[in-house]
Amino acid sequence: MMKIRNGFTLVEIAIVLIIIGLFIGTVLKGTEFITNAKIKNIENNYSSIAKAVAIYRENYHTLPGDDNGANRFEGVKAVNNGNGDGSIDGNFDSTDNDDESRLLWLHLRSANLVERVSGDLQQQPQNAFGGLIGISSNSSANGAKGKNIVFFVGFTKIPGNIAIILESHSDDGLESTGRIRSNLDYTTGDNGTGNVEHKLYFSL
């Protein structure tokens, strides 16, 4: 009579463990790849927006959003002009279409310097972490720590651990000095983890 074998051999268990290990390694590597791609996307957003603003200033000798002659563009009305005082008024993440920080996106899109969107042409674009990308003057009034940045690109909903990586790539690693600022301390509580969302302010 043939004896029925129960359970698994050590070889079979080893093979299963190897497969599980490879699977976990692949998932973790994939997650790391996606995170790195998002970080690169934020950096590319900043670079492309900075270039668009510089071209606008060179072409029209004024700032987008603040431009008091933006009705030169087709579809832009005089009511959509800025006040021409040399600053971008309104919070970078404003929801008020009368703010220059929102008019800015209408001006840039009308000048074909950033991608046009369907719907509200004044809506700030979205960043890779689901937050907004905006531009404004006066970082202190917008919640940034440290000495005021006069003109900046802002990002919302940046996880704390990602904020620290972005700092280490391009700045001094501190939330209140240098060309990148945050609205929160990196080292307080869970602020440096993915559980806490930061607003970041990149100097232009």
Number of other residues whose CB lies within 10 A of the CB of residue 81: 19
Residue 7 lies in a domain: no
* Phi, psi dihedral angles at 132 (to 5 degrees): -100, 155
Within-domain flag for 89: yes
What pLDDT does residue 28 have? 64
The answer as to whether 164 is a domain residue is: yes
Identify whether 121 is part of a domain: yes
According to the model, what pLDDT value does residue 76 have? 96
- Number of separate domains in the chain: 1
Is residue 161 in some structural domain?
Answer: yes
Q: What is the model's pTM?
A: 0.85
Q: How would DSSP label each residue in 112-129?
A: TSS---SS-TTSPPB-TT
Amino acid present at 177: T
**Residue 38 confidence (pLDDT):** 95
Structure tokens at 158: 């940046």
- What's residue 1's pLDDT? 52
Question: What is the distance of C-alpha 107 from the center of its chain?
Answer: 20
Question: Would residue 3 count as lying in a domain?
Answer: no
On whether residue 4 sits in a domain, the answer given is no
Provide the 3-class DSSP secondary structure of residue 26. helix
pLDDT at 17: 79
- Residue 6: helix, strand or coil by DSSP? coil
Q: Is residue 10 part of a domain?
A: no
Which pLDDT belongs to residue 29? 61
Instruction: State which residues of the chain have pLDDT below 70.
Output: 1-8, 26-30
